[in-house]
Chains A and B, each alone.
Chain A
Amino acid sequence: EPEVTQTPSHQVTQMGQEVILRCVPISNHLYFYWYRQILGQKVEFLVSFYNNEISEKSEIFDDQFSVERPDGSNFTLKIRSTKLEDSAMYFCASRTPGLAGGPSYEQYFGPGTRLTVT
């Protein structure tokens, strides 16, 4: 069964450093998402991406964050200058385009990357 994969599973970085989190969505999916979960808190939406551009972003997704689909398979989240409060589990998700309410609106999630900023 196809699945979303994410690398690395755990990333440790120093404050102020740039990090790139990588995701390989399911191959025929066209909508991509990043969510994050700070330890003990809610899973929060960061950004959605379609047709090579951001379709929606949250207040969290400020100028320090960027997303890119550099090739036909990868979807990346870059944090330009990490802060301690960026420490969290980051989840990538993808879905196909589909009819509203239909099963193909389901988002499929990867296992997450745990980012630790020291």
Chain B
Amino acid sequence: GNSVTQMEGPVTLSEEAFLTINCTYTATGYPSLFWYVQYPGEGLQLLLKATKADDKGSNKGFEATYRKETTSFHLEKGSVQVSDSAVYFCALRLGAQKLVFGQGTRLTINP
């Protein structure tokens, strides 16, 4: 079946630290890959996406590269801010079908 595995949280970093949140997937076809973010009290927002192998998605200083050979889509940011504190979800989608999510990683950035 199709599934997504994320690194377990919570993750706590200091401001300006480098961030990596690992995500690996299992899929029967060629999925599109996503990172969603949920800020406190808000809904899930699309952060970035990649639709084919070697694509790099980027937004707000975050990046993730679709690695077919390692079935991974790790989220990175070079210098995090307090405002990046949120829960991050990795997800895949095959075609127009439903999203399959990872379990989410809670990130806290301390000033």
With A42-B102, A56-B97 as given contacts, are A91 and B32 in contact (CB-CB < 8 Å)? no
Residues of chain A whose beta carbon lies under 8 Å from any beta carbon of chain B = 3-4, 6, 33, 35, 37, 40-45, 48, 56, 58, 91, 93, 100-101, 105-112
B96:A110 contact, CB within 8 angstroms: no
Interface residues of chain B: helix, strand, loop or mixed (majority) = strand
Q: Are B103 and A41 in contact (CB under 8 A)?
A: yes
Interface string of B54-78 (1 = CB under 8 A from A): 0000000000000000000000000
What total of chain B residues lie within 8 Å of the partner, measured CB to CB? Answer: 24
Select B43's contact among A33, A42, A106, A110, beta carbons within 8 Å: A110
B34 and chain A: residue at smallest CB distance:
A106
Whether B46 sits at the interface, judged by CB under 8 Å, is: yes
**Which residues of the other chain, B, contact A42 by a CB distance below 8 angstroms?**
4, 101-104
Q: How far is the CB of B74 from chain A (nearest CB, A)?
A: 18
